[in-house]
Structure 1
Amino acid sequence: MIQIFNEPPQGLQTAPKEPRIIAAGYQITLREIDFGTIHDKESLMLAFLKGLGLRDTFGRNWDALYDVLTDPNQTRPRYALILCDYAHFKKRHPHLAHDVEQVLLDAQHTAAQQERQLWLLLEEPDHDLKG
């Protein structure tokens, strides 16, 4: 299997097994966003605030999220977001999922134009892996 971090980021991708260990080996900064408790846009923005380690001055809107993800002073040149429990979130909140995906994919595209890499990795809880 080709190691995900050997290839340029390509949209939303399934996280490899042990992504934290693999990312460390490739010297990729990794942050986790927990979608398991999100129920509206405010809780979504709080999940990014917490997951990205942002200050309370974070604007908590789509433009602010895009700006943080595309600012070379805020993120490393090789950066990965693990989107935890995203599939359930997307089923529960399809419109919110559409909006956040647009921002994430736009940020990934802009990062590539800046010769930076932003991986968007989907990781589901173990209880989803049963038959």
Structure 2
Amino acid sequence: MINVFADTPQGIQPAPHDPRIVAAGHQVAVREVDLSHVRDKEGLMLAFLRGLGLTESFGRNWDALYDVLTDPNARPARFALVLCDYEHFRRRHRHLGAELERVLLDAQAEANRQGRCLWLLAEEPASDPRHW
């Protein structure tokens, strides 16, 4: 598999096997957001709050999510966001998934304009039979 961290981030890409190990060799900080139990927008925002290690003051809306992903004081210059169970989430919540994707891609573009890297990596559970 091509190393995603060797290139400029482009959209939502498949996560490499053991993303933390691969990222460490490229000085990329990694946080994971588990989408497997998300049922609604509030649950989605809570998943990001937990995954990004945010405080309860996190606004829990699209603008707040964009802001924390693009704030140079809040995120390292080389940062990867691993979206666990992303494809299943997108299938279960088409509208919510489309809104999330828009915010993530906008944040990625803004990070790029700032000279920073924001990788968006989709990871599926190992128990998924498609990976056997």
TM tier, shorter chain? Answer: over 0.9
Paired AA for residue 42 in structure 1? E
> Cα offset for 1:3?
1.4
Determine whether 1:10 maps to 2:10: yes
Q: Which residue of 1 aligns with 2:110?
A: 110
Q: Which residue of 2 aligns with 1:82?
A: 82
Q: Which ranges of 4 or more aligned residues in structure 1 deviate by more than 6 Å?
A: none
Paired AA for residue 105 in structure 1? L
> Cα offset for 1:130?
4.3
Paired AA for residue 108 in structure 2? Q
The TM-score, its normalising length taken from structure 2, stands at 0.96
Provide the C-alpha distance between the structure 2 equivalents of 1:22 and 1:126, rounded to a whole number of angstroms: 18
| Per-residue Cα deviation, 1:5-24 (whole angstroms, up to 9, x for no partner) | 01000000000111110111
Aligned residue runs from structure 1 range 41-120, under 5 A: 41-120=41-120
Aligned pairs, how many? 131
Q: Give the 3 Å change call, closer, same or farther, for CA 39–113 of structure 1 in structure 2.
A: same
Alignment RMSD (CA, Å): 0.9
> Is the partner of 2:63 in helix, strand or coil?
helix
Determine whether 1:36 maps to 2:36: yes
Structure 2: runs of 5 or more not aligned? none
Provide the C-alpha distance between the structure 2 equivalents of 1:75 and 1:130, rounded to a whole number of angstroms: 32
Provide the C-alpha distance between the structure 2 equivalents of 1:66 and 1:12, rounded to a whole number of angstroms: 15
Structure 1: runs of 5 or more not aligned? none
